Structure 1
Amino acid sequence: MSQALVLRDELVERGVKYVFGWYTDIHGVPKSKCVPVASLPSMAQGSELYTVGALEGMGELGPHEDECAGIPDLDRLTVLPWDPRYALVPTRLHLNGEPYEQDSRNVLVRQVDAAAAAGFIANVGIEPEFYVVRETADGWEPLVPGDRINSPTRGYDLEATILAEPFLGPVVEHMNALGWGVYSFDHEGGDGQYEFNFDYTDALTMADRMVLFRLMAKHVARQQGCIATFMPKPFQDDFGSAAHINISLADLESGENVFAAGDGTPAYSELSRHFVAGVLAHAGAINAVICPTVNSYKRFTSKGFMDEISWAPVHRAWGENNRTLMCRMPVNRHCLEVRTADSAVNYHLGIAMVLAAGLDGIKRQLDPGEPINRDTYKLAPEELAAYGNLDLPSSLDEALDEFQTDDVAKEVFGPDFHATYLNYKRQEAHEYRSVVTDWETRTYLQRI
């Protein structure tokens, strides 16, 4: 009996009625047809066809062209713990029998395969931050109204975390039911902002999990009469939401972390230095993908309108425990923490870019230089200048300029998807530049 037939029978026994074979659009938003569980065997053969040219940023396949067939990865099927009538399975799109280039998951698969060809497994941990808010007559209010009492921040606040248990508790239960290994969660600095920390895993599995995580958070928030928003900077006077990508390489044969020096100390290996150098060499192009919206760049300030420092990365550099920089090499674990990644990231594309850039650094034996272990928020311009050009793109447009000419970005995306991504995001940036904001009206309408 085929795998699909066995799986179908198992799912029927568990009470599953429908299966979604999902893929994502350019934003990382999952798309799928809903298939009755009895039709799983035909679905496994690619029976479900998609006119992806009608979706966001997935190429321009016209109505006269062939459709993409979804081929599900049945080994990765998940039954939703909050609604076991449904099972979700990640799917790879194929066009004319070949993996479709403009499918985000195919992009990451290619880079995972490239890492394996070089002798490595890429492992990833994510620290997702997001807000849970409800719309009221007075505007958007946090999940727990009392969050606004403890100014300037409720970060790590014990009482605020307990009061948010109606949301936090079910999310933790669902994550652990899926075997994700939650080891901590907390109220972050923003009013109604939360973060979850759970076990790392291989890159493709983690990207797949984060698609489910967003669905999960949104579902539980709705049960509280709220929404979970993954907008990077929803409020100008509050903290932004990051999604730090913690990445390391393990030896393909032994499984040992090759970022560790291997001498039993906290020291990092020379290979890890090459990896971080590669990420820094392609930082602008990476940020065009892991900071994918015009709103993303509102995070990159030391303070802005806030009463407290932002704790956001503002410079293209690395440090050992320095949270003001794009790249942090933590002293308590052997990995590279890419701190510019935000909550709007398409995880399949973002992880693929970081991994490819790091592998390029290893291939070219790049040197990241010495770490910067100072608070760069407080450095005078002349002190910063002594480290060279540490500027990160200050807008989506600037990041796209680097993405446009970056060889690694072109290789990761492929020529067609690279052009699609660039054109789509350029249009987004153009639309934003054309908007007249409330600030402009308040400031200029009667002044001039």
Structure 2
Amino acid sequence: MTAIYGSDKNSILAESKSLQLQLRERGVKYALASYVDIHGMCKAKMVPLSHFEQMSQGSELFTGAALDGVPQSIHDEEVAAHPDLNSAIVLPWNREIVWFASDLYCENAPFEACSRNILKRTLAQAEEMGYSFNLGIETEFFILRDTEDGKFATASDRDNLAKACYDVPTLLDNYQVIDELVTAMNELGWDVYSFDHEDAQGQFEIDFNYSDALTMADRFTFFRLMAKEIARKHGYFASFMPKLSSELTGSGAHYNMSLADKDTKKNLFIDLNDSRGCKLSKLGYQFIAGILKHAPAICAVTCPTVNSYKRLVPKGAMSGSTWAPVYICYGNNNRTNMLRIPLAGGRVECRAADISTNLYLGAAMILAAGLEGIRDGLDAGEPHTENMYEYTLDKLTASGIKFLPRTLGEAIEAFANDPLSKKVMGDSMYQTYIDYKQREWEEYHNHISDWEIERYLKFF
């Protein structure tokens, strides 16, 4: 199964008619003009293929006030989903339905607070500077099953090793789900190059080829939908919760980033003669410096949940390390930094981001920060090659290294106080994001947990 692409971008109507015929010949009955809410979750109406031409021109309207983080009042004009016809994917698990990534419009103009529009605006800034933004995502997630006591367990009864990483028997136990998912990804042209059982029990990672950032954000959004549907088909569920247990490694979504010349597509981050030994260009170091400058605000979007910050700790996993960053720093092929430059050089990996991210918003924030670093000629300093987990508080202070936010509350405060946030998000999404996430933090903060009951009920 491959993705379907339109041919004539100059005429949506002509393109939609041609695509409609192709889809009908392939047995497609319905179309989804899919956009995302604040969480990056798919929302859409299903339209019979006979109404595809109307849908392609934005016929499907939605009340933003009915959704999380789509800033509208109930009396506002509805938003309209305009499908990107170049993004069409026939669902591998139900070939009667085609999915489209879509942009929201309102009053005949792009809706400012649409996540996909926010990323497209930031990509336009990169293009004005002569760059295209390439992005790869490492997808980590759990395959689990519900249990009769209302809890959950791993899909395999053998998946109970303290050091489960790269385990072959448990990977084989989950073969049917993973194989169907990987096969679908390859049929869509995503070029999966490896997959494995990850560090935590029930956790898996699938790695596929990078692409331009907008395509990757569309694919990542669709991936989470597809993984859930395929797992459900086999009697399991896929979880994209960042941290399931204090004893298990969390699920990251490492951003692997580079800038290319927008015309030649040449990688502008590679420098094999790099004096710092990381095989990264001056442009790449400036990009890193911009991200480090705005790291706390970026975290509010790349690590968007209360649960996210239980992943960003140095210890607490059964394998001995969480493998997640704690400090705002960068280094070479060293997984204890927030930003890592892999051994081959030519790209920057952000290890802070987790699998719950809305990639449209996360990519927009981190790209905008990197571009600012380039525009302002910022210096990232020397890379850290040492184990950052072993740094004492005194050494951190002496080195000028700061912590990543340790709670969603800290992250949202940083987001609110960083001018970059409003520049990227626009006025309405900026305030909506702050309001929504502050409520989320306050609801959690006021919740009485089982831990508190167990610790305090009969203690005093």
**Deviation per CA, 1:174-209, whole angstroms, max 9, x where unpaired?**
000100000000000111100001100000000000
Whole-Å Cα distance in 2 between the matches of residues 286 and 432 of structure 1?
A: 21
1:382 CA drift (Å): 2.5
Match of 1:99 in 2: 110
Q: Which runs of 5+ in 2 are unaligned?
A: 1-12
Instruction: Please state whether the residue corresponding to 2:338 is helix, strand or coil.
Output: strand
Match of 2:43 in 1: 31
1:307 CA drift (Å): 5.1
Match of 1:9 in 2: 21
**Deviation per CA, 1:298-348, whole angstroms, max 9, x where unpaired?**
001111364521111111000111211211111224111111100100010
Confirm or deny: 8 A CA contact 1:249 1:258 kept in the other structure. Answer: yes
Match of 1:324 in 2: 336
Residue 256 (structure 1) aligned with residue 278 (structure 2): no
Match of 1:223 in 2: 233
Match of 2:353 in 1: 341
Confirm or deny: 8 A CA contact 1:51 1:67 kept in the other structure. Answer: yes
Whole-Å Cα distance in 2 between the matches of residues 240 and 266 of structure 1?
A: 27
Whole-Å Cα distance in 1 between the matches of residues 394 and 385 of structure 2?
A: 17
Residues 434-445 of structure 1: pairs in structure 2 closer than 5 A: 434-445=446-457
Match of 1:293 in 2: 305
Residues 169-180 of structure 1: pairs in structure 2 closer than 5 A: 169-180=179-190
Whole-Å Cα distance in 1 between the matches of residues 393 and 126 of structure 2?
A: 39
Deviates more, 1:15-24 or 1:261-270: 261-270
Specify the code of the residue in structure 2 equivalent to 1:160. Answer: T
Residue 390 (structure 1) aligned with residue 407 (structure 2): no
Match of 1:279 in 2: 291
Residues 116-195 of structure 1: pairs in structure 2 closer than 5 A: 116-137=127-148, 139-148=151-160, 150=161, 152-195=162-205
Whole-Å Cα distance in 1 between the matches of residues 83 and 329 of structure 2?
A: 40
Match of 1:196 in 2: 206
Deviates more, 1:390-399 or 1:297-306: 297-306
Whole-Å Cα distance in 2 between the matches of residues 90 and 250 of structure 1?
A: 24
User: 2:417 pairs with 405, 410, 420, which one?
Assistant: 405
Q: Which runs of 5+ in 1 are unaligned?
A: none
User: 1:213 pairs with 214, 223, 238, which one?
Assistant: 223
Match of 1:48 in 2: 60
Whole-Å Cα distance in 2 between the matches of residues 384 and 322 of structure 1?
A: 17
Match of 1:65 in 2: 76
Confirm or deny: 8 A CA contact 2:279 2:344 kept in the other structure. Answer: no
User: 2:90 pairs with 79, 83, 104, which one?
Assistant: 79
Match of 1:109 in 2: 120
Residue 303 (structure 1) aligned with residue 315 (structure 2): yes
Match of 2:431 in 1: 419
Match of 1:374 in 2: 386
1:404 CA drift (Å): 0.3
1:263 CA drift (Å): 5.6
Whole-Å Cα distance in 1 between the matches of residues 382 and 369 of structure 2?
A: 19
**Deviation per CA, 1:90-129, whole angstroms, max 9, x where unpaired?**
1111111111011100100101111111100000000010
Whole-Å Cα distance in 1 between the matches of residues 153 and 192 of structure 2?
A: 27
Confirm or deny: 8 A CA contact 1:376 1:384 kept in the other structure. Answer: no
Specify the code of the residue in structure 2 equivalent to 1:432. Answer: Y
Residue 352 (structure 1) aligned with residue 338 (structure 2): no
Confirm or deny: 8 A CA contact 1:257 1:334 kept in the other structure. Answer: yes
Judged with a 3 Å threshold, the aligned counterparts in structure 2 of structure 1 residues 224 and 53 are, in CA distance, closer, same or farther, namely same
Confirm or deny: 8 A CA contact 2:281 2:346 kept in the other structure. Answer: no
Whole-Å Cα distance in 1 between the matches of residues 341 and 297 of structure 2?
A: 21
Match of 2:8 in 1: none
User: 1:246 pairs with 213, 238, 256, which one?
Assistant: 256
Whole-Å Cα distance in 1 between the matches of residues 317 and 208 of structure 2?
A: 32
Whole-Å Cα distance in 1 between the matches of residues 307 and 173 of structure 2?
A: 29
1:41 CA drift (Å): 0.6
**Deviation per CA, 1:134-180, whole angstroms, max 9, x where unpaired?**
111353111111010x2x22101122212210111101100001000
Whole-Å Cα distance in 1 between the matches of residues 278 and 270 of structure 2?
A: 7
1:359 CA drift (Å): 0.3
Whole-Å Cα distance in 1 between the matches of residues 417 and 91 of structure 2?
A: 41
Confirm or deny: 8 A CA contact 1:260 1:266 kept in the other structure. Answer: no
Whole-Å Cα distance in 2 between the matches of residues 434 and 190 of structure 1?
A: 30
Whole-Å Cα distance in 1 between the matches of residues 159 and 342 of structure 2?
A: 30
1:54 CA drift (Å): 1.1
1:392 CA drift (Å): 1.0
Whole-Å Cα distance in 2 between the matches of residues 335 and 408 of structure 1?
A: 23
Whole-Å Cα distance in 2 between the matches of residues 212 and 169 of structure 1?
A: 17
Confirm or deny: 8 A CA contact 1:21 1:32 kept in the other structure. Answer: yes
Specify the code of the residue in structure 2 equivalent to 1:61. Answer: S
Specify the code of the residue in structure 2 equivalent to 1:248. Answer: S
Percent identity between matched residues is 43
